[in-house]
Amino acid sequence: MVVLGLETSCDETCAAVSDRHHNVLSSVVASSLPHHVPHGGVIPEIASRHHLESICFVVDEALKKSKKKPKDLEAIAVTQGPGLIGSLLVGISFARALGLGWRLPVVGVNHVRAHLYAAFIGQRGINFPFVGLVVSGGHTSLYRVHSLDHEELLGATRDDAAGEAFDKVAKILGLGYPGGPVVERWARQGRPQAFGFRCDCGPGFDFSFSGIKTAVLYQVQNLKKIYGRLSRATVADLCASFQEAVVSNLVAKAMRAAATSSSKILVVGGGVAFNNYLRERLQSAAALYKIKLCMAPKPYCLDNAAMVASLGSRLISAKGRKAALNLDTLGA
Ligand code: KG4
Ligand code: ZN
């Protein structure tokens, strides 16, 4: 099924076209990030205005790059939530209008599920059940996934999401926004054991990342009291030690969930899965514990519409699930 996907849940306006084999024919992303950077985080009003300004161009580009015409499309998939309400509404209203004009079914897709199923882009079949880990700026959750629309939540963050913790630590260190990529860069020059940071949230599958963010803050305040400022080596050590603690915690919990599951398959997606250190650690642990690891390819870890088109197409193929044209947001 040739599907046009739309994603506007946060600060990126995305459109993509996928074919019947879940291959991505085009994926276009227009980010409003530069407009948010001075504020140190995403400003919802700026994001939704940017979506309004960009969406026509982004959809045109996605169609052009895919070499498909509207008449070649068989469905439209759009992110229904969770996300910023004003931003979601732009994508949903646009999808509804296109569906009406081009006489196409419109299917709503859950953003968190789409991050997980990004691991299957380009693959026809999916082996259920599997354990799924979504690590993004808004979510850190472990699921036992039984089918396309049935998953059991094993655990989730009790406070900050992992990506949010990267963003906050970068802010504490004055490294800018978004924090993930910049903390990862600094961490490469630092020593992961320099500070004994730990993420601890008991033996279950829940996560907690706000304590480690506070531990970094107190460490920075103490060091500044003693030395006046942080040296580059100290910043690198702080980043490496923080990243080490977060990654170790994510890997340990995800591996334990997968190792105790029937299928021993672990699927990982979301913006933090872009992190090379996390990817390497997951790969070595999976080899050690004989877990089959499926990670979202790097181009489809951060927000994109290819993951929305691909999951939308699977949903329609499996269930014939068409949303009515009064499709609404699923809330934040
Ligand atoms: O999935 P995503 O694009 O948006 C949400 O659905 O939240 O994830 C964005 C998050 C941000 O918090 C960002 O700092 C984090 O992913 N991120 C990273 C890296 N690249 C992006 N975190 C760690 N390492 C990275 N290289
Ligand atoms: Zn996302």
Give residue-wise pLDDT tens across range 266-284: 999 999 999 999 999 999 9
pLDDT of residue 28: 98
Give residue-wise pLDDT tens across range 192-215: 999 999 997 888 999 999 999 999
pLDDT of residue 149: 84
Report the C-alpha dihedral over residues 209, 211, 217, 223, rounded to 10 degrees: -120
Average pLDDT over residues 154-159: 97
- Cβ of 97: how many Cβ atoms within 10 Å? 13
**Residue 266 belongs to what H/E stretch?**
strand 265-269
Question: 190 C-alpha to center of ligand 2: Å?
Answer: 28
Ligand 1 and 275: CB distance under 6 A? yes
Distance of alpha carbon 272 from alpha carbon 295, whole angstroms: 11
Distance of alpha carbon 132 from alpha carbon 144, whole angstroms: 6
Question: 135 C-alpha to center of ligand 2: Å?
Answer: 9
Phi-psi region of 122 (alpha: psi -120 to 50; beta: other; left: phi over 0): left
Spatial CA neighbour of 67 closest among 110, 108, 105, 19: 19
Distance of alpha carbon 251 from alpha carbon 285, whole angstroms: 8
pLDDT of residue 151: 95
Confirm if 212 and 159 have CB atoms less than 8 A apart. Answer: no
Q: Does position 290 have pLDDT exceeding 90, yes or no?
A: yes
Question: 271 C-alpha to center of ligand 1: Å?
Answer: 4
- Given pLDDT bands bounded at 50, 70 and 90, which one contains residue 332? very low
For 285, residues 6+ apart whose C-beta sits below 8 A from its C-beta are 251, 255, 291
**Using CA positions, which residue lies closest to atom 2 of ligand 1?**
271
Ligand 1 and 143: CB distance under 6 A? no
Question: 97 C-alpha to center of ligand 1: Å?
Answer: 31
Segment among 38-52, 167-181, 275-289, 315-329 with least mean pLDDT: 315-329
Average pLDDT over residues 279-294: 98
Burial degree of 262 (CB within 10 A; 0-12, 13-18, 19+):
exposed
Ligand 1 and 303: CB distance under 6 A? yes
**Using CA positions, which residue lies closest to atom 16 of ligand 1?**
271
Average pLDDT over residues 170-186: 96
Mean pLDDT of the chain: 94
Question: 111 C-alpha to center of ligand 1: Å?
Answer: 14
Ligand 1 and 8: CB distance under 6 A? no
pLDDT of residue 203: 86
Ligand 1 and 163: CB distance under 6 A? yes
Give residue-wise pLDDT tens across range 9-44: 999 999 999 998 889 999 999 998 889 888 888 899
Closest ligand 1 atom number to CA of residue 301: 1
Segment among 172-176, 188-192, 200-204 with least mean pLDDT: 200-204
Q: What are phi and psi of 105, to 5 degrees?
A: -70, 145
- Given pLDDT bands bounded at 50, 70 and 90, which one contains residue 321? low
Distance of alpha carbon 118 from alpha carbon 103, whole angstroms: 27
